[in-house]
Amino acid sequence: MHLATARVFVMGPTHDRCYQPPAMENVANFHRKYVKDAEQVKLVENQPFPHTLPTNDTAYYNTDGNSTGAGFDGPGECVSHVFGGGKRLYPVTYDVRDHWLRVNNSEYIEANNYAQGYTEGAFLFVPPQCTKGGCKLIVLPGGCNAYTDHPPTGGSDDAFARYGMANGFVILKPCQTGKIDLEAYPHNHENYRGMVDVSDAATAPSSPSHV
Protein backbone atom coordinates (compact mmCIF):
# COMPACT_ATOMS: atom_id res chain seq x y z
CA MET A 1 0.00 0.00 0.00
CA HIS A 2 2.76 2.45 0.96
CA LEU A 3 4.90 1.60 -2.07
CA ALA A 4 2.08 2.13 -4.57
CA THR A 5 3.00 5.78 -5.18
CA ALA A 6 6.75 5.45 -4.54
CA ARG A 7 9.26 6.71 -7.08
CA VAL A 8 12.41 4.59 -7.07
CA PHE A 9 15.84 5.14 -8.63
CA VAL A 10 18.10 2.07 -8.84
CA MET A 11 21.74 2.27 -9.98
CA GLY A 12 23.72 -0.82 -10.99
CA PRO A 13 27.08 0.17 -12.55
CA THR A 14 28.54 -2.39 -14.95
CA HIS A 15 31.85 -2.66 -13.04
CA ASP A 16 30.41 -3.00 -9.54
CA ARG A 17 32.30 -5.92 -7.95
CA CYS A 18 30.07 -5.89 -4.85
CA TYR A 19 26.60 -6.20 -6.38
CA GLN A 20 26.62 -8.55 -9.34
CA PRO A 21 23.78 -8.81 -11.88
CA PRO A 22 20.90 -9.33 -11.46
CA ALA A 23 21.07 -7.92 -7.91
CA MET A 24 19.98 -4.37 -8.73
CA GLU A 25 17.48 -5.54 -11.32
CA ASN A 26 15.93 -7.65 -8.58
CA VAL A 27 15.63 -4.53 -6.40
CA ALA A 28 13.87 -2.71 -9.24
CA ASN A 29 11.57 -5.66 -9.90
CA PHE A 30 10.63 -5.83 -6.22
CA HIS A 31 9.33 -2.26 -6.37
CA ARG A 32 7.66 -2.84 -9.73
CA LYS A 33 5.44 -5.44 -8.07
CA TYR A 34 3.87 -2.75 -5.88
CA VAL A 35 3.90 0.56 -7.76
CA LYS A 36 0.87 1.68 -9.74
CA ASP A 37 2.92 2.46 -12.85
CA ALA A 38 6.19 0.77 -13.91
CA GLU A 39 7.55 4.18 -14.97
CA GLN A 40 7.81 5.06 -11.27
CA VAL A 41 10.88 2.78 -11.12
CA LYS A 42 14.01 3.84 -13.02
CA LEU A 43 16.83 1.28 -13.37
CA VAL A 44 20.23 2.35 -14.74
CA GLU A 45 22.55 -0.55 -15.58
CA ASN A 46 24.53 0.63 -18.61
CA GLN A 47 27.06 2.99 -17.03
CA PRO A 48 30.67 1.68 -16.69
CA PHE A 49 31.47 2.68 -13.13
CA PRO A 50 32.61 0.71 -10.07
CA HIS A 51 30.69 0.49 -6.75
CA THR A 52 29.65 4.14 -6.53
CA LEU A 53 26.94 6.66 -7.34
CA PRO A 54 28.91 8.68 -9.91
CA THR A 55 28.85 12.42 -10.33
CA ASN A 56 29.82 14.47 -13.38
CA ASP A 57 33.44 14.42 -12.16
CA THR A 58 33.66 10.64 -11.75
CA ALA A 59 35.81 9.02 -14.42
CA TYR A 60 34.68 5.82 -16.13
CA TYR A 61 36.13 2.54 -14.94
CA ASN A 62 39.88 2.24 -15.67
CA THR A 63 40.17 5.86 -16.81
CA ASP A 64 41.74 7.42 -13.71
CA GLY A 65 43.65 9.85 -15.92
CA ASN A 66 40.38 11.40 -17.06
CA SER A 67 40.39 14.74 -15.26
CA THR A 68 37.11 15.92 -16.79
CA GLY A 69 34.98 13.00 -15.60
CA ALA A 70 32.45 10.95 -17.50
CA GLY A 71 29.58 13.41 -17.23
CA PHE A 72 27.01 11.11 -15.63
CA ASP A 73 25.20 12.95 -12.84
CA GLY A 74 23.98 10.18 -10.52
CA PRO A 75 22.55 12.44 -7.78
CA GLY A 76 20.87 14.59 -10.43
CA GLU A 77 19.34 11.57 -12.15
CA CYS A 78 18.10 10.36 -8.75
CA VAL A 79 16.47 13.57 -7.48
CA SER A 80 15.04 14.41 -10.90
CA HIS A 81 13.30 11.04 -11.05
CA VAL A 82 12.26 10.74 -7.39
CA PHE A 83 11.37 14.35 -6.58
CA GLY A 84 11.02 15.94 -10.00
CA GLY A 85 8.70 13.28 -11.39
CA GLY A 86 11.05 12.90 -14.35
CA LYS A 87 11.41 16.66 -14.89
CA ARG A 88 15.05 17.73 -14.84
CA LEU A 89 16.12 19.51 -11.65
CA TYR A 90 19.23 21.66 -11.42
CA PRO A 91 21.74 22.33 -8.61
CA VAL A 92 23.36 25.54 -7.48
CA THR A 93 26.93 26.03 -8.71
CA TYR A 94 28.40 27.73 -5.63
CA ASP A 95 29.93 26.26 -2.46
CA VAL A 96 27.28 25.16 0.06
CA ARG A 97 29.48 23.66 2.79
CA ASP A 98 28.52 26.34 5.34
CA HIS A 99 24.98 24.95 5.47
CA TRP A 100 26.08 21.58 6.91
CA LEU A 101 25.44 21.34 10.66
CA ARG A 102 26.74 18.88 13.24
CA VAL A 103 23.88 17.47 15.32
CA ASN A 104 23.64 15.17 18.32
CA ASN A 105 21.14 12.37 17.68
CA SER A 106 21.93 10.31 20.77
CA GLU A 107 18.27 10.28 21.86
CA TYR A 108 17.38 8.29 18.75
CA ILE A 109 20.34 5.92 19.05
CA GLU A 110 19.60 5.16 22.71
CA ALA A 111 15.87 4.78 22.08
CA ASN A 112 16.48 1.71 19.91
CA ASN A 113 18.19 -0.04 22.84
CA TYR A 114 20.53 -1.97 20.53
CA ALA A 115 23.70 -0.99 18.72
CA GLN A 116 23.47 -0.97 14.93
CA GLY A 117 26.67 0.94 14.37
CA TYR A 118 25.45 4.54 14.29
CA THR A 119 27.24 7.20 16.30
CA GLU A 120 25.70 9.97 18.38
CA GLY A 121 26.80 12.60 15.90
CA ALA A 122 25.40 13.21 12.43
CA PHE A 123 25.62 15.82 9.70
CA LEU A 124 22.50 17.80 8.76
CA PHE A 125 22.24 19.99 5.67
CA VAL A 126 19.57 22.70 5.95
CA PRO A 127 19.01 25.20 3.12
CA PRO A 128 17.77 28.62 4.31
CA GLN A 129 14.30 28.05 2.82
CA CYS A 130 13.94 24.88 4.93
CA THR A 131 14.54 26.39 8.38
CA LYS A 132 10.78 26.66 8.94
CA GLY A 133 9.87 23.25 7.51
CA GLY A 134 8.07 22.25 4.37
CA CYS A 135 11.05 20.63 2.65
CA LYS A 136 11.69 17.08 1.47
CA LEU A 137 14.20 14.86 3.28
CA ILE A 138 17.10 12.82 1.88
CA VAL A 139 18.87 10.32 4.17
CA LEU A 140 22.48 9.51 3.20
CA PRO A 141 24.10 7.22 5.81
CA GLY A 142 27.86 6.81 5.52
CA GLY A 143 31.12 5.94 7.22
CA CYS A 144 31.77 9.30 8.83
CA ASN A 145 32.46 10.98 12.17
CA ALA A 146 30.43 14.16 12.55
CA TYR A 147 32.48 15.25 15.59
CA THR A 148 35.89 15.16 13.91
CA ASP A 149 35.39 15.08 10.13
CA HIS A 150 34.94 18.11 7.92
CA PRO A 151 31.45 18.50 6.42
CA PRO A 152 31.02 16.85 3.02
CA THR A 153 32.67 18.98 0.33
CA GLY A 154 32.87 16.60 -2.61
CA GLY A 155 31.45 13.51 -4.24
CA SER A 156 27.79 12.58 -4.27
CA ASP A 157 27.10 14.06 -0.80
CA ASP A 158 28.11 17.52 -2.00
CA ALA A 159 26.19 17.01 -5.25
CA PHE A 160 23.02 16.12 -3.33
CA ALA A 161 23.55 19.20 -1.14
CA ARG A 162 23.77 21.48 -4.18
CA TYR A 163 20.49 20.06 -5.44
CA GLY A 164 19.09 20.48 -1.94
CA MET A 165 20.03 24.15 -1.87
CA ALA A 166 18.38 24.82 -5.23
CA ASN A 167 15.25 22.74 -4.73
CA GLY A 168 14.60 22.69 -0.98
CA PHE A 169 15.88 19.31 0.25
CA VAL A 170 17.09 18.71 3.80
CA ILE A 171 19.82 16.06 4.03
CA LEU A 172 20.47 13.90 7.07
CA LYS A 173 23.80 12.05 7.03
CA PRO A 174 24.01 9.65 10.01
CA CYS A 175 27.45 8.14 10.61
CA GLN A 176 27.85 4.36 10.53
CA THR A 177 31.04 4.05 12.59
CA GLY A 178 29.65 3.38 16.07
CA LYS A 179 29.28 0.36 18.33
CA ILE A 180 27.71 -2.80 16.94
CA ASP A 181 26.00 -5.42 19.12
CA LEU A 182 27.98 -8.54 18.21
CA GLU A 183 25.38 -10.84 19.73
CA ALA A 184 22.49 -9.31 17.82
CA TYR A 185 24.50 -8.93 14.59
CA PRO A 186 27.10 -11.75 14.58
CA HIS A 187 27.52 -11.90 10.80
CA ASN A 188 27.34 -8.20 9.97
CA HIS A 189 31.08 -7.84 9.34
CA GLU A 190 30.55 -5.27 6.59
CA ASN A 191 29.21 -2.72 9.07
CA TYR A 192 32.38 -3.08 11.16
CA ARG A 193 34.14 -1.42 8.22
CA GLY A 194 31.67 1.46 8.04
CA MET A 195 29.52 -0.04 5.29
CA VAL A 196 25.80 0.76 5.40
CA ASP A 197 24.26 -1.52 2.80
CA VAL A 198 23.85 -4.76 4.77
CA SER A 199 21.91 -5.95 7.81
CA ASP A 200 21.70 -9.15 9.82
CA ALA A 201 17.95 -9.60 9.52
CA ALA A 202 18.00 -13.17 10.81
CA THR A 203 18.64 -12.13 14.38
CA ALA A 204 17.61 -8.49 14.66
CA PRO A 205 15.37 -5.88 13.03
CA SER A 206 16.73 -4.97 9.62
CA SER A 207 17.39 -1.43 8.49
CA PRO A 208 17.08 -0.03 4.96
CA SER A 209 20.30 0.29 3.02
CA HIS A 210 19.39 3.44 1.10
CA VAL A 211 16.58 5.88 1.72
The amino acid sitting at 56 is N
SS3 of 55, please?
coil
> Burial level of 173, CB count in 10 A (0-12/13-18/19+)?
buried
Model's pTM, two decimal places? 0.85
Domain identity same for 102 and 54: no
If one counts the domains in the chain, the total is: 2
- CA dist 28 → 3, 13, 48 (Å): 12, 14, 19
Q: Is residue 200, in this structure, part of any structural domain at all?
A: no
Q: Report how far residue 196's alpha carbon sits from residue 172's, in angstroms, rounded to the nearest whole number.
A: 14
- CA dist 24 → 83, 147, 191 (Å): 21, 34, 20
Q: What is the pLDDT along the chain (211 residues), one digit of tens a residue?
A: 999 999 999 999 999 988 899 999 999 999 999 999 999 999 999 999 998 999 998 988 766 666 667 889 999 999 999 999 999 999 999 999 999 999 998 887 765 555 667 788 999 999 999 998 889 999 998 888 898 999 999 999 999 999 999 999 999 999 887 777 777 777 776 666 666 655 544 333 333 333 3
Domain identity same for 77 and 102: no
Could you count the other beta carbons within 10 Å of the beta carbon of residue 134?
Answer: 9
Q: Is residue 2, in this structure, part of any structural domain at all?
A: no
Q: Is residue 32, in this structure, part of any structural domain at all?
A: yes
> Burial level of 115, CB count in 10 A (0-12/13-18/19+)?
middle
Among 47, 82, 117, where does a domain finish?
A: 82
Host domain of residue 24: 8-82
Q: Is residue 112, in this structure, part of any structural domain at all?
A: yes
Q: Is residue 76, in this structure, part of any structural domain at all?
A: yes
